[in-house]
Amino acid sequence: MNATPSDEPTPDRFGPLAGIKVLELGQLIAGPFAARTLADFGADVIKIEPPGAGDPLRKWRLLKDGTSVWWQVQSRNKRSVALDLRESAAQETVRRLADECDVLIENFRPGAMEGFGLDPLQLMQRNPRLVVLRISGYGQTGPYRDKPGFGVVAEAMGGLRHLTAEPGRVPVRVGVSIGDTLAALHGVIGVLMALQERQRSGLGQVVDVALYEAVFNCMESLLPEYSAFGAVREAAGSALPGIAPSNAYRCNDGYALVAGNGDSIFRRLMGVIGRDDLARDPGLADNTGRVPRVQEIDAAIGTWTATRSVAEVLAALDAAAVPAGRIYTVADIAADPHYRERGMLQEQTLADGSRLQVPGIVPKLSRTPGQIRRAAPLAVGQDNEEVLSELRATRAPNAPRAPR
C-alpha cells in the first residue's frame, strides 16, 4: 500500500481524534513520538521548534538533502512553528496557543517549563480543559526529579539493561530508543484516558510519565519474584527463563526462533523433531516439569535444527502449527509481503520528488483508521503564518472559539 500525504486532508480522512488540537513543546524522541501517534489519528499537532536549527532530531542519524530521514517519520502530520521560548513574546504566544489547545506535550527536564514562564498549572488555570503530558527521565516528583534522564539510563534503571546480555557478558542496549518509545506510548494512553475523563468533568489534568517507570512497567514478574523468593533474574541471552522451550536455535545457515512452550504445542514440536519419547514423557506435560529440564529439551531441538536450513525448519514447524520465525533485517522487512499487505510499508513523496518508505500506522482501526495526511515540515517554522493567523482569528472580536 502506498500513501501520498495531502496538504489539504478531507474531513473523512481526519481520523478518530479529529478536532483535538495538540501543542508539542518537546524535542528528539519521547514527546514528539507521543505527539506523532496522536497526529497519525487525526489530531492537529502544532510543533514548537527553536528558530534556526530546530529540533535536533532533524540532524540525527542518516541525512538526505541535509535532513534526517527519521525526521520524516517522527514529524509527519505536524505543523512547525518557530519560537524562542526564552523570549517573552514567544512565551505569550505559547500561552495563547495553549488557550486554544486540548493537549500540551513537553519532555523537558522538570522545572524547565516553569523557567520559561509556562508553568503548566498556570496554563491550566487559563484553560481548565487542557490536558498536559509531561515526560521526563524520573518524573515530576521524587529525589531524582532534577537529574537529566535519557532513555538509555531509564532502560538500565527500569531493570531492562540487566537482562539484555548473554550470561556473564556485558549487558547491551536493545538497539533502538526503547525507553523513550515506551514512555511515549504510556503518555499517549494517559492523554486518551484524560480526554475521556474530561468528557465527564470538563476538566483537564496533568499526565506525569517517567521514562524509567515506563520501562519498569513492562518488566513482567521481575519484582514479585524478588519479593516472594528473593530471586534476582539474570541475563539469559535468547532464552526466556522460566518458560520452556523458547529460544533461538542454530541452523546450518542462521538461527530459528522457536516458541514451543504451550503444552499441546510442545507435543507437536517434539513430534516434528522425532522425539516422541519427550512428547509422551509425563514429566514434561506442562511448563512446571519442562523448566528444570530445559537444557535437555533445548539440546534435542538444537540437534534437529543444526542439520537443516532456517527455511526448512520454519516450513516444518509452520506445517505443525508451532510458533517459529527467523531474525529479520530491515531488508527482510522491506521485502515481506505481510508487512506490505498490512499497510506497514508506506511511501511518502519528498520535496525533491523522490520517494521514501516509512513505517505505517499502528494500531489498525476498522472504521476510522489513521492516515499520513502531510509530510514532515521541511523548514523550521514553515507554518508560522498559517498557525498564527488561525490564532489571531480565534481572538478577533466576536470570533467563536474552536469546538472543544
Catalytic residues: 180
C-alpha span between 213 and 348 (Å, rounded): 35
Closest Cα partner for 262 from 321, 326, 327, 325?
A: 321
Asked if residue 46 lies in contact with residue 333, where contact means CB atoms within 8 angstroms, the answer is no
**φ, ψ of residue 249 in degrees (nearest 5):** -120, 135
* Closest-CA residue to 361 (of 337, 381, 345): 345
Give which of 93, 53, 57 is closest to 74, Cα–Cα.
57
User: CB atoms < 10 A from the CB of 157, how many?
Assistant: 20
Q: Which three cell numbers stand for residue 6?
A: 495531502
Q: Phi, psi at residue 207, to the nearest 5°?
A: -105, 115
